Amino acid sequence: MSAPNVATSRAVLAAVGPPVTLARTWLRRPPVAPPPPRRPMSDALRARLATVTDLQHAAAVLDWDQETYMPSGGAEARARQTATLRRLAHEALTSDETGALLDAAAGALGPDAGETERALVDVTRRDRARALCLPAAFVEAQAAAQAEAMEAWKHARAADRFADFAPHLERLVGMAVEEADRVAPVVAEARGPGYAPTDADRRYDALLDLYEPGASTAEVAAVFDELLAGLVPLVQRVTARPAPDASFLHATYDENAQWQLSLDVAAALGYDGARGRLDRSAHPFSTSFSAADCRITTRVDARFFPTAFFGTVHETGHALYEQGFPPELDRTPLAAGASLGMHESQSRLWENLVGRSPAFWRRWYPDVQRRFPDALAGVPEDAFVAALHRVEPSLIRVEADELTYHLHVLLRFEIERALLAGTLAVRDVPEAWNERMRQYLGIVPPSDADGCLQDVHWAMGAVGYFPTYTLGTLMSVQLWSAMARDLGDLDARVAGGDYAALLGWLRAHVHRWGRVRTAGEILHAATGDRLSAAPWLAYAEARYDPPAR
Amino acid sequence: MSAPNVATSRAVLAAVGPPVTLARTWLRRPPVAPPPPRRPMSDALRARLATVTDLQHAAAVLDWDQETYMPSGGAEARARQTATLRRLAHEALTSDETGALLDAAAGALGPDAGETERALVDVTRRDRARALCLPAAFVEAQAAAQAEAMEAWKHARAADRFADFAPHLERLVGMAVEEADRVAPVVAEARGPGYAPTDADRRYDALLDLYEPGASTAEVAAVFDELLAGLVPLVQRVTARPAPDASFLHATYDENAQWQLSLDVAAALGYDGARGRLDRSAHPFSTSFSAADCRITTRVDARFFPTAFFGTVHETGHALYEQGFPPELDRTPLAAGASLGMHESQSRLWENLVGRSPAFWRRWYPDVQRRFPDALAGVPEDAFVAALHRVEPSLIRVEADELTYHLHVLLRFEIERALLAGTLAVRDVPEAWNERMRQYLGIVPPSDADGCLQDVHWAMGAVGYFPTYTLGTLMSVQLWSAMARDLGDLDARVAGGDYAALLGWLRAHVHRWGRVRTAGEILHAATGDRLSAAPWLAYAEARYDPPAR
């Protein structure tokens, strides 16, 4: 017989006061958290940073819920709740007390201070300094402008009317310039006395630094130029040949079987299911609330095999990174990816260098073929692998193949730089977009909806984000080369299913650092090199345009 | 082809500073919350209370996640995160600024102030005063003692050794006494100058008040005495007759079909699926994050039909209450149940007075029979309904039938009172327990694991919680009678599936008030009566021991 199953934690009630609803939730966990492990850093500073990160992670839980299970009616309250959590995190980080604790910690750092301890102080001080650059009134005005722009963008895209979005983009670009100018001094100080960019690059650096700390716009531009010079002719050579048949990828693939395959491949790659889980969402993403709770989502398309499979492998790469942060960084700002680019290097490494490789399919194809007999029974392994490498210029970035994808990114980067430098007017964005599409990809969007209105980023005011997608991909190959140097024949390991060796190397050379080191520092220590496009170009040519045998 | 699906809200990043993990989550919602509607109350106070409730609701989301989807590895970080959120909620509520805002609001309440406005100030001030009674050091010590007691309880119950739990219970009782003595003045002040309980009742009142604001131990005891006097002989009469066959309830019931039935019955009763959802958890519960997001869980037992069905109907009753709070109470401490007893009155009303009634099954049984043909094909409707009313003294409260359930509650209430009054020593609890089991139910637990160690409540330090289960059940019948007075033949409505009429009445007489009025006030306004056992006894006799026809 059914009986009441509600109880309460008296500690919770006593701490909060009112017997509100949540008091009725059955709480099997202990009512208070165990004390954090003792470490040399000041307890007061540790506690303060724990509060900041707990609030951020709580907001991330609310976001995850919103994208996975929240009923539609919950959206309005949810927006307020996450806004409250993020406001409190901001207040806790920027408070005078936190500043004093950080100053004291900085003063107490002796010459023998550990790298982690030093980074904790330096990174947090920079985060705080950056947050302090923007007055509350500006942040509010920017947030309001972004919210309006988002709505306008949705309508403009649906109606294919760039002109309706243009005034919003204009306003957001103006605000991005203001933000960049406010933040630039902090960025400059972090880079030391030798930092002397052009005025335009100083601005873009200031925005880019949020996603790719320490990166230089000039260096990124140089690397992207090198990439463009090699990639455009490569794509032309590849697409001049007959495209491989990929029609069977659009056959019917049982959704439950796809789901099980997603679970299996994530586990095989080393994703720890006791510290994560897989759910469905409209857009695949990964998120984490601690190194012991790193979740991924995917979506399943019954009529296109790669959607769920590569979505899962991609997000698994992100999650493997976060599951690899060392426990001593827990509840500090250092328990995060070194940069979005470095994060993307992990997802791209597993997605493309492992998951799309012929070696990988040598092991997996027979299994996958058995799981989807209707679709794949008559498809040989090499035809399947070839289909996964079909290259075809197309309009939409998120649907692009492994090669042409970067041409989409490069044109956005160029347009962003020109907008920020004032050398391109917002009203001329469609023309600039279409001209580059023609130059780089040989096609011109028939509409702005399929052109410069396709991405959400600018409507969210995110300038400087796009390049990290390509930066991560370039880094993934540089890391892969270093891994091969250390581990020998990676194809043989992949073909043999020894993903643990790869993961172990990434743990040791990338994951362990969290934000203790910048992406550039991690890359250099692991590979001996600076960021470069050459390794990726060499990989892409070998994979997509091999010399005739 | 898979492509990156991570983006970011620049507003979020700008507000929080570091490009932490959560920045990678795809955010489709606008980056800031819409402004709250304007109301007469001071905006600063509203904003403060919104922060408190947002933090509480965020903690509730984290709790829900923990009980439904969280991977096991996430537990440790989760405990810290919810502890942080609840500490911040406590700090926001008890801060001097909040006190000043509340004092100002109280001073500004004119004679024509609305009831809601007045309650918002009064209720919040009482919550705050209560929270301020307990020094942080005491709350911490209590929480630590509860955490230890919880562990000790688990082991003691598994090993059936009450002696291992006794010292912990002794400590928690001591702390409950201290808490009661600290809180008693606030409770006394809220009750006005006429309040003159015995010393022992003053203590129990102070704890009970947390769950059942305004309730009097003396009155509860008197009502429970009346209940006991009628219930023990009723159970004896009912169990003297041959028990109805209920073996078919233990047949095999397809789990998916049970799940679908749970969804269907919740929707039929009026549960709005756009503002809620059903999930599985080890213990059924309901929780809410706003009136537009009220979730329930259930569990499914493939070999016992009532588990999922009545679990769902019970939790639906709770959720219907919370979906019915008026929008103007949103983000205030008033958007919660008037008391745990009133909350339980809602779940019990739908579970027992509706869901278990012969009238209900007149409509539902043919459908249910079709859904579970293997189990029910040969079972007539009246046999099915009779099985749902099988009464049998048993050891475990949460598995007890509708009648004997309350005998379990009453004995706990008596033991709690005696412990608090100091007339019962902790070491004598097993004897007191077993003696009452013998007197009230005619059976004696063969072990303390099946006796006084069975419930988690005392291990969590919750004293004063148990009586709310029975109070709610008594109230449910009082409300039912008033509803029948206003709506006419309720059985006919239930048999006809017109649950909307019932829900509408509850909305108008109970739900709309949230915490604006106490449970006692709501009950009196709706029924004209004070709390009483007689209506429930009359209902129980009519349902379980009808006069021979």
**Minimal C-alpha gap between A256 and chain B (Å):** 16
The pair of structure tokens assigned to A92 is: 């806790």
Note the pLDDT of residue B300: 97
When pLDDT is cut at 50, 70 and 90, the band that residue B136 belongs to is confident
Q: Is the pLDDT of residue A39 over 60?
A: no
Non-local CB neighbours of A417 within 8 Å, separated by 6+ positions = A200, A204, A217, A221
- Coil, helix or strand for B295? strand
CB within 8 Å of chain B, chain A residues 58-87: 58-67, 69-81, 83-87
φ and ψ of B278, to 5 deg: -110, 130
Burial of B338 by CB count in 10 Å (0-12 exposed, 13-18 middle, 19+ buried)?
buried
d(CA A42, CA A105): 7
- Chain A residue with the nearest C-alpha to that of B465: A7
Note the pLDDT of residue A136: 86
Average pLDDT, whole number, for chain B? 92
- Type and span of the H or E element at B289: strand B286-290
Please write the tens of the pLDDT for every residue from B91-130: 999 999 999 999 999 999 988 899 999 999 999 999 999 9
B416 is catalytic: no
Size of interface A-B (CB pairs under 8 A): 460
From the list A350, A361, A255, A374, the residue with the least C-alpha distance to A308 is A255
Q: Is the pLDDT of residue B9 over 60?
A: no
Of A13, A286, A456, the CB nearest to B24: A286
When pLDDT is cut at 50, 70 and 90, the band that residue B547 belongs to is confident
Please write the tens of the pLDDT for every residue from A371-390: 999 999 999 999 999 999 99
Whether the CB-CB separation of B269 and B320 falls below 8 Å is answered with yes
Query: Given the DSSP bridges, would you call strands B293-298 and B286-290 parallel, antiparallel or unpaired?
Result: antiparallel
Q: Is the pLDDT of residue A9 over 70?
A: no
Whether the CB-CB separation of B350 and B269 falls below 8 Å is answered with yes
φ and ψ of A86, to 5 deg: -70, -35
Residue in B212, B315, B414, B416 annotated catalytic: B315
d(CA B175, CA A312): 51
Q: Is the pLDDT of residue A21 over 70?
A: no
Note the pLDDT of residue B244: 97
Q: Which residues of chain A make contact with B456, given a CB cutoff of 8 A?
A: 7, 28
What is the interface pTM, i.e. ipTM, of the complex?
Answer: 0.89
Could you count the other beta carbons within 10 Å of the beta carbon of residue A49?
Answer: 23
φ and ψ of A465, to 5 deg: -85, -45
Average pLDDT, whole number, for chain A? 92
d(CA B411, CA B444): 13
Q: Which residues of chain B make contact with A131, given a CB cutoff of 8 A?
A: 14-17
B182 touches chain A (CB under 8 A): no
pTM confidence score? 0.90
The reply to whether residue A27 touches residue B58, judged by beta carbons under 8 angstroms, is no
Q: Is the pLDDT of residue B26 over 50?
A: no
Of B22, B33, B273, the CB nearest to A79: B33
Please write the tens of the pLDDT for every residue from A202-224: 999 999 999 999 999 999 999 99
Please write the tens of the pLDDT for every residue from A393-424: 999 999 999 999 999 999 999 999 999 999 99
d(CA A253, CA A257): 8
Beta bridge pairs of residue A293? A290
Please write the tens of the pLDDT for every residue from A150-186: 999 999 999 999 999 999 999 999 999 999 999 999 9
The pair of structure tokens assigned to B52 is: 């408190």
**Minimal C-alpha gap between A452 and chain B (Å):** 16
B457 touches chain A (CB under 8 A): yes
The reply to whether residue B340 touches residue A24, judged by beta carbons under 8 angstroms, is yes
- Type and span of the H or E element at A63: helix A43-68
Q: What is the mean pLDDT of residues A228-256?
A: 97
Q: Residue ranges of the alpha helices (H) in A134-241?
A: 136-159, 162-191, 199-211, 217-240
